[in-house]
A and B are shown apart, each in its own frame.
Chain A
């Protein structure tokens, strides 16, 4: 064997494929800070210390007296806490899904909506609002969005698969995603024109909102858990895929299968996020890129830190959305796009420099 002459405990050590505890701790502290800030922001003034005490009190087996009135406790419990948690879950899912898509497509600009998830959900939600209408229509929105997002990805995948000629098929798949997106968007536009008076409801859904409360949280929890766990377990496999399909296969990896599993998990995460929050742009691109720049490019780093970082980012974005025009609210998608779009251009410039 090649290395039979086993060298004395080699001094050569590796680069960055390990997730350093410091980064995890830093990201978690950031997330906790954002969440506490999110709990504090709002029309009613509640002191930070009281919030911390109240959170502690809600933990099982311990108790503390926060000194908060029942109304304030209710406000925290029924409005602010679920809102902050939902923002965290949605942000984490979108960033994780974005990182997953980027790994599968080996393209740093892939985002969770690349394969028609957004257009699919947009269409089904528009249909629910236009054709069902009223309260029943609103109640059907999460299920419609979920089904539409999955359906859009499925359509793109089926189309990409039949059109595929040779190679790993990722380029064809992306093109199929583009085709499906414009096709479904065309239908969506047509449907929404049928009932122009619903335009505002449709648009406010599209621009995103994380005010759905505990119901929405419990609705997506199982999907979120399944998708996130699957993706987090595939970090090393995505690293192997990053050297190309031929080499991955020559290393004994069934590249096609890994790709499908991660794609399914990322699409499930996207659908879960879209179901309760609308179409929040750029989180899926911005967060994984910041992580890559700061902590390293291995997917074993990018996936978990994107999850935590995405959560923190969206909690913060929601905080901004709720406070800058208070008492009015900005749609959260406006805030993320406002930060995300300039950043997107920056990423384009930097990646171009690296590739040439």
Chain B
């Protein structure tokens, strides 16, 4: 059974359809990377899957229709990290990560021992153990991304929806964050669905890809099937050369001055 699947997913914003009839299926432990030009509907797709937007169509989480889940139940199954998370500068790393426990705490309740232990465990695991008392305003870009990931992990959800997790990070930190996600995914059989701007990174880490353009899923399959010169040329308006890298995964290079 797939960890997350969607059928005929459509989203209209201001009466304009920004996502049309998108279908997807990701097995437990899989990593689906959604790519596409600006405005293709990548973030919208993630937000719709997370239940943040009204959508038509069907979303199944572990075989259960998401529409039938209460918000808290859904939050225990799926965690979402937005492209630009709001990080209150005065909040400490520990308190921020602890917010991930919200789906397990009643409306007017407070965190218990378990919640604190889970949070502490996650911080240790992400090498943030020493950062617990640090304020969010005092973190570097790479640290922030790890803290956001920590918050998603304390949620103990099986599905992670990550919207551009490497935005504004330098090369080394991009690699660090994606390696971390990959490690966690393999260790815990987490299911990851991410949008990624960088086609090479997307091709490196994902085991399945989907190309969105104008709200439609125009291609999906393995990285080799999706990252082709033709598809990228048509939908990104970019002239590229695609070659197989040493590990067989496709590598995309821009070609100068042909258009």
Contact = CB atoms under 8 A, between A and B. Distances in A.
Interface of A: 1-3, 5-7, 9-17, 106, 165-166, 233-234, 236-237, 239-240, 242-244, 246-247, 249-254, 292, 296-298, 354-355
B34 interface: no
A248 B118 CA distance: 19
A316 B156 CA distance: 49
A243 B92 contact: no
B102 A252 contact: yes
A354 B122 CA distance: 28
Contact of A297 (B88, B110, B124): B88
Mostly helix, strand, loop or mixed at chain A's interface?
loop
Interface in B1-53: 13-14, 47, 50-52
Contact of B90 (A2, A165, A251, A296): A296
B237 interface: no
Interface string B115-147: 011111111110001001111010000000000
Contacts of A233: 108
A298 B90 CA distance: 8
10 contacts: A2-B184, A3-B121, A13-B132, A13-B133, A17-B92, A247-B80, A247-B82, A247-B99, A250-B161, A252-B70
A-B pairs with lowest CB-CB distance, top 6:
A15-B92, A252-B75, A297-B90, A10-B120, A252-B72, A14-B94
B43 to A, nearest CB: 10
A10 B117 contact: yes
Nearest to B90: A297
B26 to A, nearest CB: 18
A246 B80 CA distance: 9
A252 B47 contact: no
Contact of B52 (A240, A242, A250): A250
Contacts of A296: 90
B75 A250 contact: yes
Contact of A10 (B71, B121, B156): B121
Interface in B143-186: 153, 155-156, 161, 184
B74 A252 contact: yes
A243 B80 contact: no
Interface of B: 13-14, 47, 50-52, 70-76, 78-82, 85-96, 98-100, 102-103, 105, 107-110, 116-125, 129, 132-135, 137, 153, 155-156, 161, 184, 188, 190
Contact of B129 (A12, A240, A292): A12
Contacts of A11: 120, 129
Contacts of A252: 70-76, 102-103
A242 B71 contact: no
Contacts of B184: 2
Contacts of B80: 246-247, 250
B74 to A, nearest CB: 7
A9 B114 CA distance: 11
Contact of B132 (A14, A244, A298): A14
A296 B94 CA distance: 14
B47 A7 contact: no
Contacts of A165: 14
Given A13-B120, A240-B102, A243-B99, 5 more contacts: A10-B123, A14-B94, A15-B133, A165-B14, A252-B74
Contacts of B135: 15
B88 A243 contact: yes
B122 A2 contact: yes
Contacts of A237: 107-108
Nearest to A14: B94
Given A14-B133, A17-B98, A166-B13, A253 B120 contact: no
A250 B79 contact: yes
Contacts of A240: 99, 102
Contacts of A246: 47, 50, 52, 80, 82
Contacts of A354: 89-90, 137
Contacts of A2: 122, 153, 156, 184, 188, 190
B76 to A, nearest CB: 7
Contacts of B81: 247
A40 B125 CA distance: 59
A291 B70 CA distance: 36
Q: Which of B85, B86, B122 has the largest count of A CB atoms less than 10 A from its CB?
A: B86
A250 B117 contact: no
Contact of B95 (A234, A239, A292): A239
Contacts of A254: 71
Contacts of A10: 117, 120-121, 123-124, 129
Nearest to B107: A237
Given A12-B129, A13-B132, A15-B135, A242 B51 contact: no
